[in-house]
Structure 1
Amino acid sequence: MTARSFHARQLAAAGLGVALIAAALTAVPASAAPRHGDSAHPDFGPNVTIYGPDTPLDQIQSELDALADEQRDAEMSAERHAVYFLPGDYGTAEAPLQFEVGYYTEVAGLGASPEDVNVNGAIEVYNRCLGDEANPNCIALVNFWRTISNLSLEVNGAGQDGCRASANFWAVSQAVSMRRLDISGANLSLMDYCTAGPQYASGGFIADSRLPFVISGSQQQWLTRNSEVAGWSNGVWNQVFSGVVGAPSEANFPAEPYTTVAQTPVSREKPYLYVDDAGRYKVRVPAVRTNTSGVSWADGETAGRSIPISDFYIAKPGDSARKINAALALGKNLLFTPGVYDIDRTLQVWRPGTVVLGMGHATLTAKKGATPITVADVPGVVLAGLTVDAGEKLSRVLVKVGHGQGSGHLGKLSKKDPITLSDVYFRVGGPHVGKATTALEINADNVLIDHTWVWRADHGVEGFTNGVNGDTDRWRTNTGRNGVIVNGDNVTATGLFVEHFQRYNLLWKGDKGRVILYQNELPYDPPTQKDWTQRDGTLGYPGYVVGDDVKSHRLDGGGVYVFNQNNPSIITENGFSVPDAPGVKLHHIMTVNLSAGTITHVVNGVGGQADNTNTGSPQFIVDYPAS
């Protein structure tokens, strides 16, 4: 079935014809309509702030300080923000621009190159203090959902105290990305050692960046891809480098927790908004690259194509799924401005090369049990910069790529132009109860997943500890059976973080899969061993499962962690489960007990036991099968 015939069938099923599509678009209120033809001054809505080099520095400073104060503790809020800098210089050696980045905030330059926007100062994330004066409880473990990209940063701590001036601090955990950066002037620290000690941070992602010396310190797991680094120190468990010039050697693993892949097998950098020399807004869609190292912009403009903003439907919170689908039907790309969108019917992406880009961590929340997004078996589609939330009514799946029905795949797509997901995050629970059978299902071949966090929430504001049984209530109400299911062949994932699902966190059934960095925490909250036992009597579900029929698969750098705080007697037999086939290889994997529960073996009955006798001490396997 062609993409167009599939699309026609879907429209017919929905009772939409061309006239209705046109009517849906013309019915959009003028205040919410995209300003087509006005590429110099598009309407991005009230949650997007754009600064120019002529904006007074004290205004920028005061406004960004206010935004940081607003978003510092806004973990479960509905606020979303994007801050953009037009090409030019911001801050000076004597008067630097120094600000923090809070929850659901994107900070980016609007140049064609990272070197078009230059910030002299600091762009930082510190430990979040959750306690009081007596017990400040300052940590980075929940510093989620923030982005910085496409600018140059000359780190300048002038006016900060001695500790703060020693580095640019980026103390973060999951759903945080740094892309297209050129950082110089001082160290970059992935932990905050100035606020109540280093504490732990738990995961992050850097791509397409030129970096100074990096202090990883107490950062538990991290992926750096296609970058340049002047040096790297420390790290707790998995510090993975793919296509990184200057990456540390992996020769001393596990004494040094480094995994180094010389070249990234396939990559496509995330699309980015920029302003051309004539002042027109466009979106650059980088080209696919294979077997590469280093940044994409070293020799000039990143290879790819540019799409004028007039070719996008600029969505605003409150736009209906019907209106957004109507724009897709007319051939538009989608740009979601910052906010939360209620999606009560599936957004159907069917045209080859369609770009769906979120600004400021735009969030799509499933309503009425809908699947928020499906992608047809067509090449070149890019989904980027979006968070997809489960709603309170059960959704079968939150994002489905390819139209196979779970047991097979239909999309034989070309390796040259894969469907790509970049910084696409999933959440089941947190700000409200969520229910989904599967978060992400990949049925098409040759799909690229470039950084995702797929999270069944272990904490939140509602429906989590709302009864006498505490976490037992969460297990019954905040339900997510599977995190990621991959049925397609030749699927590549660079930066795959999946946590807390009630059955399979990752089930990989397609052949010739490649994963570079996998991080998983098993669910915290099974009430009893029976709730965490497979039908055949196997105790628990491994955090990483490759199907029995798979002949070829490779993982570089993987960890499965256990923290059964609801019932510490829970046992999981294996952290990883893979077929014993010559083409299936796991490199640098581990399990670890975080303080409660047991993983008996690392993989397939091999490897030591992680339990409360060795809390915090990983059980490593360098290669499986052993070479």
Structure 2
Amino acid sequence: MQTAAPPTSSSRAPAGPHRRPRHLARALALAVAVTTGAAVVPPAAAAPPRAPGPAAPGLGTNVVVFDPSMPVEQIQQKVDEVNAQQIDAEMGTQRYALLFKPGVYGTDENPLQMQVGYYTEVAGLGASPSDVTINGKVEVYNRCLEGGGTSNCLALVNFWRTLSNLTIDVNGAGQDDCRGTANFWAVSQAVSMRRVNVTGGTLSLMDYCTAGPQYASGGYIADSKTGDVVNGSQQQWYTRGSTIGSWSNGVWNQVFSGVEGAPAETGFPTPPYTTLATTPVSREKPYLFLGRDGKYNVRVPSAQRNSSGVSWDEGPTAGRTLPLSDFFVASPSSSVQEINRELARGRNLLLTPGVYDVARSIAVKRAGTVVLGLGHATLTAVGGAVPMTVADVPGVIVAGVSFDAGTVESPALLRVGDRHGRQNPGKSDPANPTTLSDVYFRVGGPHVGKAEVSLEINSDDVLVDHTWVWRADHGVEGFANDDERWAVSTGRNGVVVNGDRVTATGLFVEHFQEYNVIWNGEDGTTVFFQNELPYDPPNQAAWQHDGVLGWAAYKVADDVQRHRLYGGGSYVFTSNDPSIHATRGFEVPVTPGVRLHHVLTVNLSAGTIDHVVNDTGAPVDNSNTGTPSYVVDYPVPAGT
């Protein structure tokens, strides 16, 4: 294993092309075939564990609840078994939630050191992150794809993991000199770290202990406390509502909002920091916890405006507590008819880990309904269905749920609000926005996928707090070439926003065939946007419209008068035909109320984006691969 010293606060990781290697599909096809078995229960230890109590009914075999009375060796064995199954299962079907009751896990001499694979949630069951302490580590390393797992090591496809509501007291006892230097969290899209308190060591978002290239393409932190953070090779990252000790460097686009200790954006783009003192609109994700009576509850945080710092350092996170008995606990065997009947009765919905085939919409109609997924619960469209619809009502929360397109085209995968007409007053509430937290979308990958639009927002006053909307650039569908992918796994737009006063904090949207994002509503705000344009247009003729080459990543409708975007990037890698151009990365009306702050384009090694926004900004092409073209503010201030 090649080792290297950790990057220092003055270091800058190589800003080379961070595209996802095209050869992954074949390797992943082999990996998935051997990593989709059922969970294995470890043999009994000398001191038998205390079994989960009766207050956790019906959560299923893929929710594993640990108690601090269990021997560390037994816990280690179980988490290692889950990781061994999930570490290469990028396109697999198993889903897991590993939940820890309040207490301390691991000792100074015998720490609990976990690795987290695909579709795995690791969470504490305390009311506060300090109620559960992992004396050890919770980590994600690079995947080494060549040389028998010794070379071509990167984190570019380390997707779909969740870490929340606990303290990591970093302990590298027994690890080598490099691994012992940090808690490694080398991840990319669809990975969230929320309500995590990292003490006693460094948090590194890059795995610098493996052979190169060590690239990473994440990610998201919210409502967390850390000491020193190594950004390393992370080409973009968004941190919201947190407290940090230091941040080491930046590559292309690092955005902070409401983060105590965040670096200033002075000198942008060197370093490429975008820093807002507060987050305009925020709401922390609901979380499962054990009450003092040993029963399970869900804490539903309240929305905040202009917030900063963590929500839990001066007492419980503001909000309401719902007993688990208020939820219908669904499994993949539950019918949509049964789910809708329980929702109509006024119950909330808890989706246990698994893949749900959905042939008619799960209809959320009641204001304030909470839909919470555990372990990356996934709703797959069947027969062209829209897997979930949310009515024009305030305060609905959908969190921790993934949506997959099916083989028959769906008009949308998640629709919020009525698609016909505008809102009537009183159907939304700025103080209680409908909120989507850690909600992910996929078109293609494990199977052919087709969806006109992935996320359609028609309601006013909606908050999107961390989403990855992905038309897959690789997978195990068996396509002969990318031309076939372009024609078969189809997705016109990733996100379409028709409602007013919609806010997105952490918006990742990639590879759609026309505009990746269309924003038609007024008073929209995005804090952090990341995009890759589609890799697979067969030629320029197939990817142009109305005399414009390609399609912009982010389109604000021509009649919109007020819109804000802070920290946005669009990247190009047209691998089928490197001669393809996109006229621009961002397309917005030229009006004083529409303003973009810190936007960029990058060439990843094929294709050209001629301008950053409208007709402003230098081109990126094969002559400047990996070097961004930046526009600091748009419209460009007079005299600059």
Equivalences for 1:548-587 in 2 at 5 Å? 548-587=558-597
Equivalences for 1:68-467 in 2 at 5 Å? 68-133=83-148, 136-197=151-212, 199-405=214-420, 408-410=422-424, 412-463=427-478, 466-467=479-480
Report the alpha carbon displacement of residue 138 of structure 1 after superposing the two structures with TM.
1.3
Match of 1:510 among 521, 538, 562: 521
Amino acid at match of 1:370: A
Report the alpha carbon displacement of residue 321 of structure 1 after superposing the two structures with TM.
1.1
Name structure 1 gaps, 5 residues minimum: 1-37
Match of 2:628 among 618, 622, 625: 618
Three-state SS of the structure 1 residue aligned to 2:413 is strand
Instruction: Find out whether 1:589 has 2:599 as its counterpart.
Output: yes
Three-state SS of the structure 2 residue aligned to 1:234 is coil
- 1:244 and 1:262 in contact (8 A); partners too: yes
Amino acid at match of 1:449: V
Report the alpha carbon displacement of residue 129 of structure 1 after superposing the two structures with TM.
1.5
Report the alpha carbon displacement of residue 133 of structure 1 after superposing the two structures with TM.
3.7
Alpha-carbon distance in structure 2 between the residues aligned to 1:129 and 1:369: 37
Match of 2:498 among 467, 483, 487: 487
Three-state SS of the structure 2 residue aligned to 1:130 is strand
Three-state SS of the structure 2 residue aligned to 1:211 is coil
Match of 1:546 in 2: 556
Alpha-carbon distance in structure 1 between the residues aligned to 2:282 and 2:487: 39
Amino acid at match of 1:261: L
Name structure 2 gaps, 5 residues minimum: 1-52
Change in Cα spacing, 1:39 to 1:450, as seen in structure 2 (3 Å) is farther
- 2:151 and 2:212 in contact (8 A); partners too: no
TM-score, reference length from structure 2: 0.90
Report the alpha carbon displacement of residue 573 of structure 1 after superposing the two structures with TM.
0.2
Alpha-carbon distance in structure 2 between the residues aligned to 1:39 and 1:590: 53
Alpha-carbon distance in structure 2 between the residues aligned to 1:250 and 1:168: 26
Change in Cα spacing, 1:261 to 1:399, as seen in structure 2 (3 Å) is same
Match of 2:46 in 1: none
Amino acid at match of 2:485: R
Match of 1:477 in 2: 488
Amino acid at match of 2:199: S
Alpha-carbon distance in structure 1 between the residues aligned to 2:72 and 2:322: 32
Report the alpha carbon displacement of residue 135 of structure 1 after superposing the two structures with TM.
7.0
Match of 1:609 in 2: 619
Deviations 1:389-433 (A, max 9, x none): 00000000110001033x745575110100000000000000000
Report the alpha carbon displacement of residue 218 of structure 1 after superposing the two structures with TM.
0.2
Report the alpha carbon displacement of residue 88 of structure 1 after superposing the two structures with TM.
0.5
Instruction: Find out whether 1:524 has 2:535 as its counterpart.
Output: yes
Alpha-carbon distance in structure 2 between the residues aligned to 1:134 and 1:266: 43
Alpha-carbon distance in structure 2 between the residues aligned to 1:39 and 1:513: 46
Alpha-carbon distance in structure 1 between the residues aligned to 2:375 and 2:395: 23
Three-state SS of the structure 1 residue aligned to 2:411 is strand
Amino acid at match of 1:420: T
Three-state SS of the structure 2 residue aligned to 1:159 is coil
- 1:404 and 1:410 in contact (8 A); partners too: no
Deviations 1:453-509 (A, max 9, x none): 00000000014xx23xx1000000000001000000100000000000001100001
Amino acid at match of 1:454: V
Report the alpha carbon displacement of residue 175 of structure 1 after superposing the two structures with TM.
0.2
Deviations 1:509-540 (A, max 9, x none): 10000000000000000001111101x12111
Deviations 1:132-161 (A, max 9, x none): 249722110000000000001100001000
Larger mean Cα displacement after TM superposition, 40-49 or 174-183: 40-49
Three-state SS of the structure 2 residue aligned to 1:137 is strand
Report the alpha carbon displacement of residue 92 of structure 1 after superposing the two structures with TM.
1.2
Alpha-carbon distance in structure 1 between the residues aligned to 2:194 and 2:54: 25
Return structure 1 stretches of 4+ with deviation > 2 angstroms. Answer: 132-136, 407-412
Amino acid at match of 1:509: N
- 1:108 and 1:150 in contact (8 A); partners too: yes
Report the alpha carbon displacement of residue 41 of structure 1 after superposing the two structures with TM.
3.0
Alpha-carbon distance in structure 1 between the residues aligned to 2:71 and 2:155: 32
Match of 1:600 among 605, 610, 614: 610
Match of 1:14 in 2: none
- 2:395 and 2:429 in contact (8 A); partners too: no
Paired residues in the alignment total: 584
Report the alpha carbon displacement of residue 45 of structure 1 after superposing the two structures with TM.
0.4
Alpha-carbon distance in structure 2 between the residues aligned to 1:183 and 1:619: 35
Amino acid at match of 1:558: G
- 1:39 and 1:281 in contact (8 A); partners too: no
Amino acid at match of 2:553: G
- 1:119 and 1:154 in contact (8 A); partners too: yes
Match of 1:33 in 2: none
- 1:241 and 1:247 in contact (8 A); partners too: yes
Three-state SS of the structure 2 residue aligned to 1:223 is strand
Alpha-carbon distance in structure 1 between the residues aligned to 2:438 and 2:174: 34
Change in Cα spacing, 1:484 to 1:410, as seen in structure 2 (3 Å) is farther
Alpha-carbon distance in structure 1 between the residues aligned to 2:162 and 2:272: 25
Report the alpha carbon displacement of residue 329 of structure 1 after superposing the two structures with TM.
1.2
Amino acid at match of 2:504: A
- 2:55 and 2:294 in contact (8 A); partners too: yes
Q: Percent identity, please.
A: 63
Alpha-carbon distance in structure 2 between the residues aligned to 1:617 and 1:410: 47
Amino acid at match of 1:521: E
Amino acid at match of 1:346: S
Report the alpha carbon displacement of residue 197 of structure 1 after superposing the two structures with TM.
3.5
Amino acid at match of 1:612: N
Alpha-carbon distance in structure 1 between the residues aligned to 2:327 and 2:608: 50
Alpha-carbon distance in structure 2 between the residues aligned to 1:255 and 1:245: 21
Alpha-carbon distance in structure 2 between the residues aligned to 1:461 and 1:130: 16
Three-state SS of the structure 1 residue aligned to 2:340 is helix
Three-state SS of the structure 2 residue aligned to 1:162 is coil
Three-state SS of the structure 1 residue aligned to 2:567 is strand
Alpha-carbon distance in structure 2 between the residues aligned to 1:435 and 1:43: 33
Amino acid at match of 1:611: D
Report the alpha carbon displacement of residue 555 of structure 1 after superposing the two structures with TM.
0.5
Match of 1:11 in 2: none
Alpha-carbon distance in structure 2 between the residues aligned to 1:294 and 1:245: 6
Alpha-carbon distance in structure 2 between the residues aligned to 1:504 and 1:167: 40
